[in-house]
């Protein structure tokens, strides 16, 4: 019965594609932006090829990937439909279409496309994993695990299946099984960045130094990853490796300037190193980046208070309370400052 249902679905979808393969994008319709010359050249190349080979499914796939590159997911899906109408037996077309639909939160449509892919190629491991991700998004943990285990029955070394299981267990708040699955994932694939990241994050509050080790591996794979750098800096900070944390925060700021690294630099100099003037400089930088950063005003006020600059402390605390009237610690600090 299931197979019959899938056949019906396939016939409906294939017939709905029609004979739309004549639809070739004109250069004039392309998005105009700062990379317009490169974009136009790329599309013109594939369009010229399509004009001479209108039923070439690979060219529609190539153009779909260009649309993805330039963030036009709907147009990419349309081209994948054209590719499927030309050749309905290529799993790659369905896999990319399902991914794009998922990225647009069209989860039911994405699942239907993956089901079609499975009907065409029942041994397609990638489709099973993607179905597992969709089940996880829906919090259907049993089904998600079933998909992951089905992959591992066919390929016991499949790193992504172990990673999927880790994410399922983590979402279920079973940290022990999540860590075990992530470790198995990196054992199968030494350059599995995402698995190292999850291992690092799960060990941040542990008394050992494993968080740093796992995050170092993530940075080995992508040395300029802001999320890995920030997590590594936090791990150093929590372990008391303040110089290493400071160095990492500065590296982050050399790549992208945002408020949190400045705030954490201020906190390290305030709380641990007791260098209040340097802490004030970093909090000020955080405020320059985010003028309504209430916690930066509060912490800077505490540093001013410790330096006996009570008027500056009072000003920061009053502004913190203006931004957040329920900020109890700021109200207590303000009362303490104005009574000195």
User: 52-92, pLDDT tens digit by residue?
Assistant: 999 999 999 999 999 999 999 999 999 999 999 999 999 99
DSSP H stretches of helix in the chain = 2-17, 36-52, 57-69, 73-86, 91-103, 107-120, 125-137, 141-154, 159-171, 175-188, 193-202, 210-221, 226-238, 242-255, 259-267, 276-289, 294-306, 310-323, 328-338
Of 21-30, 68-77, 132-141, 268-277, where does mean pLDDT reach its minimum?
21-30
pLDDT at 25: 53
Q: How far apart are CA 44 and CA 40, in angstroms?
A: 6
| Residue 280, pLDDT above cutoff 90 | yes
Q: Are 212 and 235 in contact (CB under 8 A)?
A: yes
Tell me how far apart the alpha carbons of residues 245 and 259 are, in angstroms, rounded to a whole number. 16
Contact status, residue 245 vs residue 268, Cβ threshold 8 Å = yes
pLDDT of residue 13: 31
Burial 102-119 (b: 16+ CB within 10 A, else e): beeebeebbbbbbbbbbb
User: For the CA atoms of 264, 269, 271, 275, what is the dihedral angle to 10 degrees?
Assistant: -160
Report the b/e string of 39-53 with b at 16+ CB within 10 A: bbebbeebbeebeee
Mean residue pLDDT of the chain comes to 90
pTM score, whole prediction: 0.82
Token pair recorded at residue 267: 């906190």
User: Average pLDDT in the 295-301 region?
Assistant: 98
Look up the CATH architecture of domain 1-20+38-122: Alpha Horseshoe (1.25)
Distances (CA, A) of 98 to 26, 104, 162, 242: 26, 10, 21, 45
More confident call, 247 vs 30: 247
Question: CA 330, 335, 339: angle at the middle one, nearest 5?
Answer: 145
The pLDDT value recorded for residue 207 is 80
Size of the chain, expressed as the number of residues it contains:
340
Yes or no: say if 252 and 289 are a contact pair by the CB < 8 Å rule: no
For the chain, give every residue range classified as CATH 1.25.40.10: 1-20+38-122, 261-340
Residue with structure tokens 């405020």?
287
Contacts of 202 (CB under 8 A, 6+ apart): 170, 175, 178, 179, 182
Let me know if 24 is exposed, middle or buried by CB neighbors in 10 A (0-12, 13-18, 19+).
Answer: middle
- CATH-assigned architecture of domain 261-340: Alpha Horseshoe (1.25)
């Amino acid at each position: 019965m299931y197979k019959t249902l899938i056949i019906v679905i396939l016939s409906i979808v294939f017939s709905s594609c029609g004979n739309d393969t004549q639809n070739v994008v004109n250069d004039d319709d392309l998005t105009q932006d700062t990379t317009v010359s490169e974009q136009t050249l790329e599309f013109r190349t594939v369009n010229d090829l399509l004009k001479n080979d209108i039923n070439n499914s690979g060219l529609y796939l190539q153009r779909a990937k260009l649309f993805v590159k330039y963030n036009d997911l709907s147009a990419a899906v349309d081209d994948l439909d054209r590719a499927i109408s030309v050749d309905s037996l290529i799993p790659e077309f369905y896999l990319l279409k399902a991914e794009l639909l998922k990225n647009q939160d069209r989860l039911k449509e994405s699942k239907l496309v993956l089901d079609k892919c499975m009907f065409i190629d029942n041994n397609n491991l990638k489709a099973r994993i993607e179905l597992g991700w969709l089940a996880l998004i829906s919090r259907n943990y049993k089904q998600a695990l079933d998909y992951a285990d089905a992959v591992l029955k066919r390929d016991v070394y499949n790193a992504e299946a172990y990673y999927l299981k880790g994410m399922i267990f983590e979402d279920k708040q079973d940290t022990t099984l999540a860590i075990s699955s992530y470790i198995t994932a990196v054992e199968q694939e030494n350059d599995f960045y995402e698995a190292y990241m999850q291992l690092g994050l799960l060990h941040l509050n542990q008394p050992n130094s494993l968080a740093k080790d796992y995050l170092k591996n993530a940075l080995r794979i992508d040395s300029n990853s802001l999320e890995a750098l920030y997590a590594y800096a936090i791990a150093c900070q929590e372990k008391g490796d303040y110089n290493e944390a400071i160095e990492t925060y500065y590296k982050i700021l050399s790549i992208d300037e945002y408020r949190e690294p400045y705030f954490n630099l201020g906190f390290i100099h305030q709380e641990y190193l007791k260098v209040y003037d340097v802490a004030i400089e970093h909090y000020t930088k955080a405020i320059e980046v985010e003028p309504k950063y209430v916690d930066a005003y509060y912490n800077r006020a505490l540093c001013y208070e410790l330096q006996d600059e009570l008027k500056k402390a009072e000003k920061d605390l009053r502004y913190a309370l203006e931004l957040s009237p329920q900020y109890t610690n700021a109200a207590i600090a303000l009362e303490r400052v104005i009574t000195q």
